[in-house]
Every structure is written in C-alpha cells, then in structure tokens.
A and B are shown apart, each in its own frame.
Chain A
Amino acid sequence: MRELRVTIVAAGLAAAGLWIADSVAQTTQAPFTAAQAQAGRAAYATSCASCHQANLAGSGEQPPLAGSSFMATWGRRSVKDFYEDIRANMPYGRGGSLDTPAYQNITAFILSANGAKPGSKPFDGTSTTLISAVASGQVPADIARTARRGGGDEGEGGGGRAAAMRLGQTLVGKIRNYAPVTDAMLVNPDPKDWLIYRGNYQGWSHSGLSQINDRNVDQLQLKWSWAMNEGGENATGPTIHDGIMFLANTSNTVQALDARTGELLWENRLGPVATRAYSALRSLAVYQDKVYINATDAKLYALDAKTGKVVWETDIAPPGKGFNETGGVIVAHGKVIVGLTLCRGQMPHCYISAYDAETGKQVWKFTTIAAPGTPGGDTWANVPDDMRAGGETWIAGTYDPDLNITYWGTAQSKPWMQASRRSGTASTLYANSTLALDADTGQLKWYFSHAPGETFDLDEVFERVLIDHGEQKTLMTIGKVGILWKLDRVTGKFLDAKQTVFQNVYDGIDKKTGRLSFRPDVLAQKTNSWISSCPSAAGGHDWPPTSYDRANDLMIIPLDQSCNLMLGHDVAQHTGVVQPEGEEKLFFMPGTDGNMGRLAAYRTADMKPIWSFQQRSPFLTGVLSTDGNIALVGDYDRVFRAVQTTTGRTLWTVRLPTVVQGNPVSYEVDGKQYIAITTGLGGGSPFAKPSSMLGELHHPDHGQALYVFALPDRMN
C-alpha cells in the first residue's frame, strides 16, 4: 500500500560506488551560502524532520536524505532538479506549500548535510551543478549525532501542523447507564449504532436507516462539527453506540462525544504525537464496556468506555523499532484482532495477532511472510528469510461469525519490483493474498494469492466484503490493480473477476483459477529501467472502501485513475537498513480524459457493471450506502456528495473546508438520523498523487474535523 515517493527516493548501498568515486570532487564550493544552510536547518526541522528524521537518516518508508543512498539517487542530477523536486512534492502531500526561500534554504541544508561546502553565491533555484560535484554524502558529525527519533515521538514537530500537546487524559468521563456491547449486538448491529469499522462484520459499510433518502437528501444540513487534531494523516470514521460517538484523532487521541450535540464526554491523548504520513487511525472497536484502539506506535489499548481511562495496554510489536499500525481493529468472539505495518528492514516479519478482550493477553499470532521450511516458505525463490518483506495488513479484517473465520488482506512483497526483489514471478506468500484465519486460534483455513509475483506496488490488501448469494458464501475484494474478485469464502476457491478501471499490467486471466498473466515486457524487467504500470501505485482502488447495498445487490466502489513509469533499484540484500526501492513518474490514465476519480456500481451476483461516472478529483473517502437509496462519498476537491444508489445520479453536494478524507457513517439518536464524515490531510498515495498531478485543485493544509449532517427539524 505504500506509495512511491514521487521522486525523493534513495538507491541501495550497491550504488555506493558512485558516491565513493565522486567524493574526490568535494572541494568545489556549492551554489549556496552558509546562511542559507543554517536557515534551511531550521526549516527542515519544522517541515521535513518528522518524516526524514533530524539526522536525515529516513524512517520506515521515508527515504534517507543524506549519505550513500541519497548520493546514489541524486548524485547524477543537478541541484536545480533536486530543488524543483522538493518544491513540487514536499512536504509530503503538500507540495509547494512553503515559500520559495524555504525550499531554497532546505535544499542548501540537505546539500550541506551531504558534505557540500557553502560558497559565496546564494542558491536561487537555477544552478545546474551536479550534486555529485559538490557533495560527497559524508554527513557532518553534528548532524549525524542527532538522535534518531522513533515514529511519532512527542515534540518532534508534525507531518502537517501537529501542535505540541500535553499527553494523557484531559477529561475523565462520567457516562452513566452505558449498555455493554455484546457479541449478539456485533453479529446483528442495531442500525441506530455504528459499532464496527465497516458497519457490520461483513464489511458492508451500509446503514439500515432510511429517514434520509433519495427524496429528501437535498435538504441535508449541518447539525454540528468538531475540530480534530492537526498533524499526521486523518482518515478515520467514528464508532457510535447508544448515542455516544467514539472518535480516533491523530496523535492517538481518543474522544467520546455526545453523538446528538457534539459535546465532549471524555478525552484521552494516548500519544505519541503524529509526526509522519503513516499516522492514521482508521477505526476503533467497541466491545462490552471497553473501547479498543491500535495506536500508531504498534500499541494496543483498551479504554473504559464510560471514563476513557486505560484499562490495559500491550505492545503489538517490539517497541521503539518503528513498527506501526494504522489499519484498525476488529473484535471477534471475544478477541481483539489487529494487524501490523512498517516491518521492513527489520525482523520480525509482519503478522496478524489476537488479544483477549478482557485482559490484553496475546492469544495467537499469524505471520504473513512464510519463512523457509514452513508452509509457503518455498514460494520466495530462495530469498533469505531476513530479506523477505511486505505482507502488511493496512486494513482491519472482516469476520464471519457462523464460520468463526476472520478474513484479512495482505500487502505486496517488498522490494516492490521483481527485479529488485530477486524473486521472479514467485508468489511470495502470504503477500497480496486473502487470508482466512480461525478467529480463536489463528490457524490458516485457506489463502488465495491474488497477484503472484506482483511488481508495481499494487497490493491487494483492502477490504474483504462478505456477501451471500443464495447458499453460496462469497468474499469480494478489490485491490490496487482494480480487479474485483469473488471467492468462495468457505474454501477460498476462485469464482470470478471483473476489471473496473483500465489496467495494463496483466494481459489475461485463467478463468478457472484466477491466475493472472503479466504483460510480456513486465516479465522481462530489469533494475534501473523504466516500466509502465496502469494503474499507478495510487491504485485503481485503495484504502477508501466500497459499500454494499444488499437490497439492490450493488457494490459501490471508489476508483482512482492514474498511471506511472516505475524504476526498480538494485536493493542491498541485507537487513537493518532502510530499503529504498525505486522511483516513479506519474501520468494520466489513457482513456480517462484526465479524470482521476471514478465511482462505479457493480451487481455482485453476476458482476455486471450498472453505472459509473468520472470526475477530475479522486475520491478519498469510503462509500456509505443506506436503505434510503443513497450513497455518500467525499473527494480530494473538498466535495462531500450523495448519489442515488441505483443510478449514480448526484442528489446533494456540500463543499467542506479541506480534503474530505475518512469513512462516512450513519446513526440515529432520539429518532433522528445523522451522517458523519471527516475532513483530513496527509496519507499515502491516494492523497499524495493528486497533489502532484492536479495542480488546479487547492485546499488548505489544515482543517481536520468531523462534520455531522441531518435533515432539518422541520422539513420543507
């Protein structure tokens, strides 16, 4: 799911030869002044260090900006190229948001951090001097010494505008008469509530409410709103039970609000403060008298639903090593089940794990990368175990209570490209697969490898939607390549597949097995050469999930249309280093007339497309459908809209202050139906790509908030 940073990428240590060869040339004065470098250091600390670290060493998927990796990528290019690149794309997702001197100064600082010696002439953005002619990659000691900070350390500044905040519980709740959430409630949720991330265990993102419908939705109006934490990536959706809304903010802040009025009932700022792109909290879970949250530093918390106090906490992964978790949690059969992300360049591999909901004790763990000598371990073409990476779980799974199976998608194997990974078309289990796990034991019931040998950062990790067609229990999912899959969820057998956006990665499919065949030139790929991929790493479909309307048997899918050329690096074959993987050049998808957004409805029984429309702006929320024959979705251009489910016709729109990003939900309190949606910034490819490609669309770089709509108290 990780996007390719548009340009600031670093090559592997294998390319260090260039750096060594060029290091003799560093007596040349660089085209910037010492004052610029000094000013740039401060600007870097404010706008860049949260992702790339104060010592420019990179973090997780944020590439190093100093040393051999930086020189391998940028040594052959000019200072102007580098400047133009960061000006266009940085800070991540907010390219061009700093003033010109700031970009010039940051360029100067980064060059100085690579050993360049300041000169007398100020950098004005035009120097075509090669970076290797003025920089060596030797990091000055005072910069190298700067302590590396873990993902999200308090006080490190923000990936956005994370303000310094006091962590801990700021308001203790006194909620009375809270009705515990039972297993029966989770199996058959009351439409008045929104208890589970996607609305129900099946992942439908559908509300059974119909007070707001296709005949009156044009009268929808704002009832209340709530400013949310700035900084980091806001892409969440509230959980509602019994008139109480539980809301996950960035910086791992959890709040309880009166769902009718927006009054704050309790708040617990668990921290750490959000400092990087991968800081979204996509969901919370509620069960019995607790609220569960997977914090972005890979901790799992249980909070008292009435007070907000921490009841227990546990580490999902070894602390302090940069592991991350943003996908959310699901509670199934008394267990809190959670995934893990950012596990590359270090061990252990990614895994899915389950914890006793009452005590927090780990019950089981399923590792998503098969080790040599274990089942599936022979699918990596002899890649050593410590070089096997990927298999992240970016989105919480779904659950079939009758089968007691939980279904999860996994991300692609890494490095992204086959040639870099050195695994050919091997399936690299259990990457890019659907996993069916026993909810009580974690035992693998079956798996389906959607994209063996995937090579363009096109993962199949997103929502698994459980739909029954008569007696047949199916699972439907759609990944970045935009193929809608239908599997038998009892056996894992392939049933059907349908393309929903243009793709050119695969030129065929075996309709009996679902095995895809690569375009011939993809199979012939080599490192350090450009290869085309449609869709791009933004995905034909990405994390904004689909909605399933049972009454009409329609799955409504937010789709994204862009392409790229991708270049895979020679990646160092040893662990313990950040693994920079490749570069990317974006372009508009052929046949789309420059429209990046597409919303489409498919009838799931026969996979027939029913309607679709396109627009310039991509969609950045999941879809919410309701029994009122409406479907709601938000986009990058700040529009939140309702369409008629059966036709796709737009019935209502509102323009919100900034990007509409998150997951819309619906609930009812005191006989009134509400619809809630968040605005949010930051994030991976779906947010970052349009910021690079749609220069005419503008939005403020702040404004993360929650908006709650309803019909007027007196209808016209």
Chain B
Amino acid sequence: MLEGTTAEIKPREALRINPAKTCQPIGAMYAALGIHGCMPHSHGSQGCCAYHRSHLTRHFKEPVVATTSSFTEGASVFGGLANLSQALSNIFTIYNPQIVAVHTTCLSEVIGDDIPMMIRKATEDGTIPKGKYVIHANTPSFVGSHVTGFANMTTAMVRYLAEKHGHRPFQLNLIPGFVDPADIRELKRIVDAMGVNAVVFPDTSGVLDLPQDGRYRMFPRGGVTIEDLNSAGDSCCTLALGHFTSHPAATELDEKCGVGCAFLELPIGMTETDRFIHALRNYGGVDVPADIGEERGRLLDAMSDMHQYFHRKRVAVAGDPDHVIALTQFLVDLDMRPAYVITGSPGNHFEQRVREILREQAPDAVVKQNSDLFALHQWIKHQPVDLIIGNTYCKYIARVENIPFVRFGFPVLDRMGHRYFPCVGYNGALRLMEKINDALLDHKDRECADEYFELVQ
C-alpha cells in the first residue's frame, strides 16, 4: 500500500500524509480517565467522542466511557450552552460521577463557546450537585496534538483542584505523563519501594487495565482521588516526567501553590531512570533500597551481555515527543545510532533536546518535529535503517522495506504487551531491550544465508 512513496523528497506545505499524531481531545479524554470517578465529556459532535472511545479501546482493549454534548446544527449556530447544561444534568442524574471533565473540540472552539461561564451557570442553577465537580480544558484540534490535549487536561486538574492549606513535607507529586497504565503501575511500585509518599496524577492504572471479574463498572476503583488532587498544593515538590505532557501542569502548580518542581524526562532506559531514582532520593529524602539497586544491576548486566548486537545499529524512531526524547537517550546508552528521529507533534523543544542527546554519537541524524510517517518513509528509502521503533502505524513501512520493528508508544493497535508490561524503570528498560534484541536477531535468523545462521547468539 505504500508503493506510492518515493525516495525523492519534495517540500510539502499543505498536507499531511500518514500522520504521527492525532488531535487534542483524545489526550484530554485519556488524562481525565486518570481521575477516580470521572466522566470525561466531549463538548462537540458525537462523532468525536465515538472516535476517541474507539481509538482508546483499540489501544487498551478496555471499555472507555465518555459523554458528548451531541452538537447539532442548532448548537453550531446558537452555541452549545443548552447542550452542555442538559448534558451535565443528565450525567449527574444517571451516571452520578464524582467529577465531570469537559474538553472542547474544534467545533465548539470555532463557535467560541465559553466553558467557564457555562460551568458557573450550571453551578448557580444547581445543575451540579453539591460536592461534585466540573472542570474543563480547552483542546482545539487545530492546535498542537493529542499530547497537547493531555497536558491541557492535566493542567486543568491543577487549576481547578489543587489547593494550598498547609505543608506536607513528606508528600511529593508525581506527574507521569501520557504513559500506559502498566507504566504508571510500575512508577508507583518504584515510588513505594523507595518509601516515598506520592500523589500520582493522572493515574489510569486500575481504570484501563482492569482484571476480568465478571463486572462492568463505569467508574473503576483506580484513578487519583479528588482529595489527593486537593492536597497536591501542599506537597513539598513535584516530579514532572516529560516536557510536553507534564511540565505545564507542574509549572501551574508552582505558580498557583508555590510547589517547586523538578523537570525530568520519562524514565525510559538507563540514564533517565537513574535521573528519576536520583530525584526521588533527593526530593523524598530517602535511600535507594537494595532491591532497586539490584534491578539496575540486572539491566546493566543485560546491556553488557548483549552490547555487541546493538553497536552502531541505525534506528528510525517515531512517536510522541516525550517518549521519543527518552527513548533516544536509551538508544544512545545502548550504543545504537538514531538516524531519523521524528514526532508528529509541534514544538521546537523536541528538536533541541534530541540534537543535544545525539550531539556526540549521531550529529548527522535527521530530527524533526511536526513531521509524518510519509516523510519518515522517504528518508528511509533514501538511506535505510536497521530498526524502526514507533507506534503500530509504522508497520506499513517495516513491512514494505523489510525492516525489524519494535512497537512503542501510542497507539499500539495490534499487539498486547503494552497493556501488561511497562517500558519505564529498569525493568521496563529490560523489556524494551529484549524487544529490540529479538527484533534484530529474529530478522537476521530469517534473512541470513545458511552459512551465517548461528545457533548461539
């Protein structure tokens, strides 16, 4: 199906072919699911909501609930106030969530709906029951990407819910970013093992990785509670993982409640996990327990056992900016050579940060924000790579060019591992490394001539 892709690269201004991003609202919906008892609400046409739920369901293989304002032509002329009021009334009457998290769509943004005014009105006329909350984030689809939407909703949690009452010197905030429930579960395990008390938000573990117990619950037991979010303003500091997804909320928390923050990358791979553990140790005032030290030791052992297979392998990486930045660092740790490093999301920080990481090992790498998979394919046709790492959509390129492929990031629509196994922390790094190693060696075993087919590798 990619037979139309040529190596000849023409400048393209006006179109996007095979995107490496999607729109803001889906990120906001995902973030909102990380609050306990929360109903995400899409203020727009019902198609948006259906698409986001389907897409999230394909990635998580979990039921995803969200409501919609069900815009019609009337709403697009007269504004969506009536729709939102009726929606809030229905949601609280029937589904009875603790909190509703409203995000906008391109439609409601273009007609200029003023959501804070609508929430105020709903509060005044009693549509929002006592003790219940409605928060909102503006998530125009024509700005940024799904990553921006996630960051905006996470920031909205702080704006609406974080409060400053006192000081909790032994509590810190952890903003894990747009990662899978399995990753959040692993981060919480590490935090626990370190003996640190943390408010983790948003937290989709226990929401989108449920065991099968014969029940269907609209609001599962996971997610950060509103009480915990309230207390985030009292924490001693915030560890924010990822410039694009988490730093804005941490900054907001600093400005609003004076909680200082440490800006980290996602703890993917050796270097970034070291930094994360170091930050936990410093800010939490704790020692690194022996177990965590041993986890690191096992990762290091695996890296030394296998390092000859990674040396100078050319890699194409595509995905969301925070994921790609952290992964690029890990590839450098493994002595691999990132050749093309792209994200579909806009943001200059991406290119700066990745170039900085690649300055020594791969100064000639192509690094692009706001790019797409068509462009990536053209570069690969120009000069091939040994490995592609990215979301499921990269599989077309991997197939047509016969290049080993490791699935990583969002969305993964055709494999199951991401739903159960983390890619963060030392254990996550081990798993990523195993996948990279398997992909490279499986490819060699399949493609090499008989005389080079090895039993022992």
- Bound pair (A, B): no
